[in-house]
Amino acid sequence: MRSRTILIVDDEPRSREGMKKILGVWAAGQYEILTASNAMAAMQILEEIPVELIITDIRMPEISGLALVSQLREKKIQRQPSVILISGHAQFEYAQQAIHLSVMDYLLKPASREKLIASVESALKAGEEREHIVFMRKMTDPQLMAIRDEEAALSDPVRQAMHYVETHIEEAVSLQEVAAHVHLNGSYFSALFKEQCQITFSEYVARRKLQKAKELLLKTNLPIAEIASRTGYQAVKYFNKLFKEYEGMSPGRYRSMRDGTEAHIQ
């Protein structure tokens, strides 16, 4: 998993090192505190290391803090860091631009230790909440959610079939097997399931298994072959093909999204 990093960008050495010292004591090793003396140096760090939070001065030579944040937002990276702007001047146009760039806070220099720490804690918490929302969206299958929302209106055989799939997620599940379990003819069960769920039973099984696979890819470091096995696919090649068909990418690339990077895997 990636390290947790806070980046301070300020061309004034005294201010930069002062904030680093305060946050170093506060972080107690939970965050690495990096510094940059200008926007160019900051961009170089940001291209190499995922950063949770940027604290940047607005007025710096050549490239301002606002321009730095604007360039960062344009990059549309998977995980955008939270941003706190600092300035020695309370200018309204700065605050306006900060709002436009979704900046978490705007502090005036010299910020007290208490204000700096409170602002950092608030920005990090907001960033974690944003990451959680993104994380949940990655795992969610809209069609499965739609079926779940209407579960109360489904017939008992269909609900029983869904429960059977849930409890046999690690096995290969066939339509005939489930139809027999709910005491229905295979053809009748197939038609009933499609009518009530708007997708075929085989598609439901594939989507539910891939949903489980996505959870394992994002929450664990299990090998892809093991994840395939745990979702009832003994042939990894077939699992990869099915995953790409539904998700538009390989399991390896999907997992790399967890860290905000695209790895050349699989």
CB 125 within 8 A of CB 31: no
Mean pLDDT of 218-225: 92
Give tens-digit pLDDT for 11-55. 999 999 999 999 999 999 999 999 999 999 999 999 888 899 999
Q: Collect all residues with Cβ–Cβ distance below 8 Å to 81 and sequence separation of at least 6.
A: 7, 46, 51, 52, 53, 54, 72, 127
Q: What is the pLDDT of residue 261?
A: 40
Q: What is the pLDDT of residue 183?
A: 96
Q: What is the pLDDT of residue 93?
A: 67
Q: Which domains does the chain have, with CATH numbers?
A: 5-136 (3.40.50.2300), 142-259 (1.10.10.60)
- The model's confidence at residue 264, banded by pLDDT at 50, 70 and 90, is very low
Q: What is the pLDDT of residue 61?
A: 85
Mean pLDDT of 209-229: 94
Q: What token pair was written down for 85?
A: 């702007």
Q: What is the pLDDT of residue 77?
A: 63
d(CA 53, CA 27): 13
Would you say residue 206 has pLDDT above 90? Answer: yes
Q: What is the pLDDT of residue 259?
A: 58
Give tens-digit pLDDT for 132-150. 787 777 778 899 999 999 9
d(CA 173, CA 201): 10
Give tens-digit pLDDT for 92-130. 566 667 777 778 888 888 889 999 999 999 999 998 888
How far from chain centre, in Å, is Cα 133?
A: 7
- The model's confidence at residue 168, banded by pLDDT at 50, 70 and 90, is very high
Weakest-pLDDT range from 41-45, 69-73, 92-96, 233-237: 92-96
d(CA 262, CA 266): 12
Q: What is the pLDDT of residue 96?
A: 67
Mean pLDDT of 196-201: 96
Cis peptide before 110 (omega within 30 of 0): yes
